[in-house]
Amino acid sequence: MVNEAAEMTFATEIIRRGSTLTGPARSPVQMLAEQSNDGAASVHDDEVAAKLGLAGAPIEGPTHFSQIDPLGFGLWGNAWFETGCISSHFRTMVVEGESVVASLTDLGDGRGEIAAAKGDGTPVLTGSASVDPAAPTALRVRMAEMQQRDPGELHIIDQLSVGDRSVREGQRIDMTTWNGHGYPFSLRQKLDHITESSSWYESGDNPWGRPIIPFEMFSVLTNKQLGMKKVRRPANGLFVDLEVAAVDGPLFVDQAYVVETEILCIGQSRRVESYWTESTVVEEDSGRHAATVLLHQGVFKASFPGYPGH
């Protein structure tokens, strides 16, 4: 039951100029330094990042979604957590110590444009936000364009096929359990470092009577296994695009979900081979379709031993 008397607790100073809401500068914390895949360090490790020619070990892209939450809630209220959607193309990696400012521009009819940038103006992400489930999203457009292109010859994800599916039952995020080698931290640890904190993530004193999972943790729930098992190893990758959508939300802490994931598209660019997956999140006991996560993952060609031309 929705408790309309409950008030949001974000302590975020928002500036509104015209139709654009802007939050404060935040410096997100690196929480994936110990991430591993089949026992090997990931791109979030400084040494691995240096070998790939990156400026530093990147902070996980979804971390920036928490800076958008106060803006979405400020514009649309409780609907943000019930049917809100963040659809983001990651433009530039952020390393620990850099500051990021996020903004949301209201386009009307439950739709908006999102952006985040570093202190020097370098774009971190761009995309769309909405509370209208029927609204087109930035990433659905990007994926449709890629689906029209021939993926060409592949060497790392060549065993993947559009239509491949996996189903995992009993998926949950509780407050204290470590989330595996892919996400070596608990929700409690994440909330201790989250850029925009709220008691709604920790207490049932909110409109739904139960602690809710932050949008930046949706992809943790759906991607604990670090991608599809048929990706050849060793290889290092990262998120290129991510869309998280509450369908009949929110997602709740310590609730069991069934996650069904399907490959929708496969392709490549100069530096990466990549694939898009769509994960449907269904509440295990009620059958409620709670959320959908659309993820575009890239695997660095240079990280795969013997890759032609590298």
The answer to whether residue 2 is domain-embedded is: no
Spell out the SS3 assignment of the chain.
CCCCCCCCCCCCCCEEECCEEECCCECCCCCCCCCEECCEECCCCHHHHHHCCCCCCCCCHHHHHHHCHHHHHHHHCCHHHHHCEEEEEECCCCCCCCCEEEEEEEEECCEEEEEEEECCCCEEEEEEEECCCCCCCHHHHHHHHHHCCCCCCCCCCCCCCCCCEEEEEEECCCCCCCCCCCCCCCHHHHHHHCCCCCHHHCCCCCCCCCCECCHHHHHHHHCCCCCCCCCCCCCCEEEEEEEEEECCCCCECCCCEEEEEEEEEEEECCCEEEEEEEEEEEECCCCCEEEEEEEEEEEEHHHCCCCCCC
The answer to whether residue 1 is domain-embedded is: no
C-alpha dihedral sign at 278, 211, 180, 55:
positive
Averaged pLDDT of the chain: 90
Tell me what the mean pLDDT of segment 117-129 comes to: 97
**pLDDT tens profile 182-201:** 888 999 999 999 999 999 99
Name the domain count of the chain.
1
* Predicted model pTM: 0.93
The answer to whether residue 310 is domain-embedded is: no
Structure tokens belonging to residue 160: 């993947």
User: Range of 96's domain?
Assistant: 15-303
Structure tokens belonging to residue 71: 């803006």
**pLDDT tens profile 238-263:** 899 999 999 999 999 999 999 999 99
Say how far apart CA 163 and CA 165 lie, in whole Å.
Answer: 6
Residue 91 pLDDT level (bands cut at 50, 70, 90): very high
Nearest-10 Cα torsion for 54, 120, 216, 151: -50
The answer to whether residue 309 is domain-embedded is: no
Domain with 104 in it: what CATH number? 3.10.129.10
Residue 6 pLDDT level (bands cut at 50, 70, 90): very low
118 in the Ramachandran plot: left (φ > 0), alpha (ψ -120 to 50) or beta? beta
Burial group, residue 7, by CB count within 10 angstroms (0-12, 13-18, 19+): exposed
pLDDT at 225: 60
pLDDT at 51: 73
The answer to whether residue 3 is domain-embedded is: no
The answer to whether residue 76 is domain-embedded is: yes
The answer to whether residue 7 is domain-embedded is: no
